[in-house]
Amino acid sequence: MLAACLIVVAAYLIGSVSFAVVVSKAFGLPDPHEYGSGNPGATNVLRTGNKPAALLTLVGDGIKGFIVVLATRAFAPLVDAPDWIVPVAAVAVFVGHLYPIYHRFSGGKGVATAAGIVFALNWPLGLALTVIWLTIGFGFKISSLAALITATLLPLGTFYLFGNTLVSWAMLLIAALIFWRHRTNIRQLFAGKERMIGR
């Protein structure tokens, strides 16, 4: 049980690393909390016009979710961790991104980190959801709309693939948290005032 608790804590701490903040500092850009939407994520970093920085933010936030799930899967059997450790670690790294201890609990909206988690769980599902996000995101030029539609499809995909398991319920929780973090965007979408990608 101690090993399982340590895995969950480590997952949260890894998730708390905000690549939007780290990359922005490396590129000499403003703190992403202080412009645009105020969200430390790739879409907001893109508003600086620095595409490499936005791409690195996207990749970094995705990789941390991917690595945590993959490492937990590999390490759990070695320490006899319980079956619930993988889905709980997935939620922990995601929550770390949303509420990072290193950045006064002011984190991103979790789309890239969720994508990394899904790729680690089932890469074909991750690829399918990524294609859907790209199609909607660049078709309508609205990142939040793409995120919300993809988040809706995420638990449907996992329940179809994994059935009524803790993994599927964890993905449902992650999808619900994505909706919660996008609550302002939802209001702006209905009001026709949502920001477009790159603006």
The domain spans of the chain are 2-191
139's CB contacts (< 8 A; 6+ apart) are: none
Q: pLDDT tens across 151-192, in order? A: 999 999 999 999 999 999 999 999 999 999 999 999 999 988
Model pTM? 0.93
Look at residue 103 in the predicted model and tell me its pLDDT. 87
For the chain, the average pLDDT equals: 92
Tokens of 189: 């979408």
User: Burial code of 30-45, b = ≥16 C-beta within 10 A, e = fewer?
Assistant: eebbeebbebbbbbbb
Contact 121, 90 (CB under 8 A): yes
Q: pLDDT tens across 45-103, in order? A: 888 888 899 899 999 999 999 999 999 999 888 888 888 999 999 999 999 999 999 98
Q: pLDDT tens across 29-50, in order? A: 888 888 877 888 888 888 888 8
Contact 76, 86 (CB under 8 A): yes
| Burial bucket for residue 52 (CB in 10 Å: 0-12, 13-18, 19+) | exposed
Contact 125, 158 (CB under 8 A): yes
CA distance 150 to 77: 32
Task: Indicate the DSSP class of residue 79.
Answer: G
